Amino acid sequence: MTVPRPAGPGYLADPVLRPATVADAVFTRLRDAVLSGDLAPGDPLPGERDLAESFGVNRHAVREALRRLEQVRLVAVRQGEQTRVLDWRRTSGLDLVLGLVDGDVLDTPTLTRDMLEMRACLGADAARLAADRADPAARRAVMDAVRAYDDAVSDIADLHDADIAFWRAIVEASDNVAYLLTFNSLVSHALAIAPVPSDHRADELLDIASHRQLAGHILEGRSADAHRVATSLLTRSIPLLEHHDPVTPSAAGERT
């Protein structure tokens, strides 16, 4: 039996599909409506009962989806008042981006470039700090990581893993907890180094000499040199993206 649904905006037009959970589907539908502008900042959302009827789901699923929308600061939920859409460009954080790695698309065509720029800034400053204040054990860990990187050069899959391990050693050596937590968040998702095909990053990945040089600068405490070499390595992929179609997570075949 088909349950009739009231007519409404596009994001209410169809019943939700059931991927992982019903709440996931409701969350995704509403999130995408906010990010695409179908729901504008300040717009009120329909009540739980209306949303449940429109999506053909139970109210518990709607309630869970609204809780998640509130967590990523896409909506404001106030007891006794209508739930209203927030301006995600002013209220949301990196956790919103990290929820888009399974094929969802944020309405920002420069997202991959933006993530690479963030990676470059974080990595270069972490290298500077590592050279400036890492303890001897952390410096040795960076040297061990670059030797493992050197050994992995013959296999691209191993090289990707070694690349993450190398930068992890540098971020840990920087002794900056905020950088480390950001790095961990990125590494646990497809945006660890942004979803860029390997050919866009080949010059960076295969430049073993610069990786060795960077590790040496950190070992010897040359912070300005470490920052310079890290910046050179981490920014090489960015100009390539400026002249190619934007790479979305679903289209990216390689990630590190």
pLDDT tens, 144-203?
999 999 999 777 778 888 999 999 999 999 999 999 988 887 776 644 444 555 566 778
pLDDT tens, 204-242?
888 999 999 999 999 999 999 999 999 999 998 887 555
Q: CA separation (Å) from 60 to 18, 23, 24, 66, 79?
A: 15, 8, 12, 10, 17
| pTM above threshold 0.85 | no
User: Residues spanned by CATH 1.10.10.10 within the chain?
Assistant: 10-92
pLDDT tens, 77-92?
888 789 999 998 889 8
- Residue 56: the pLDDT is 93
- Residue 4: the pLDDT is 43
Contact partners, residue 184, CB within 8 Å, separation at least 6: none
* Tokens describing residue 190: 């497809």
From CA 66, how far away is CA 74, in angstroms rounded?
A: 9
Q: Is the dihedral of CA 159, 165, 169, 170 positive or negative?
A: positive
Question: What is the pLDDT averaged over residues 5-21?
Answer: 55
Does 251 score more than 50 pLDDT? Answer: no
The alpha carbon torsion through 64, 66, 70, 75 (nearest 10 deg) reads: 180
User: Residues spanned by CATH 1.20.120.530 within the chain?
Assistant: 111-242
Phi, psi of 76 (to 5 degrees): -110, 120
Question: What is the pLDDT averaged over residues 109-114?
Answer: 74
Rama region for 194: left / alpha / beta (φ>0; ψ in -120 to 50; rest): left
- Residue 202: the pLDDT is 79
Phi, psi of 175 (to 5 degrees): 60, 35
Do 105 and 112 contact (CB within 8 A), yes or no?
A: no
- Residue 96: the pLDDT is 80
- Residue 226: the pLDDT is 98
pLDDT band for position 9 (cuts 50, 70, 90): low
Architecture of domain 10-92: Orthogonal Bundle (1.10)
pLDDT tens, 33-54?
998 899 999 999 999 999 999 9
Domain 111-242: CATH superfamily is GntR ligand-binding domain-like (1.20.120.530)
From CA 237, how far away is CA 199, in angstroms rounded?
A: 9
pLDDT tens, 116-145?
888 899 999 999 999 999 999 999 999 999
Does 67 score more than 90 pLDDT? Answer: yes
Does 256 score more than 90 pLDDT? Answer: no
Please list, residue by residue across 132-163, b when 16 or more beta carbons sit within 10 angstroms of its beta carbon and e when fewer do: bebeeebbebbeebbeebeebeeeeeebbebb
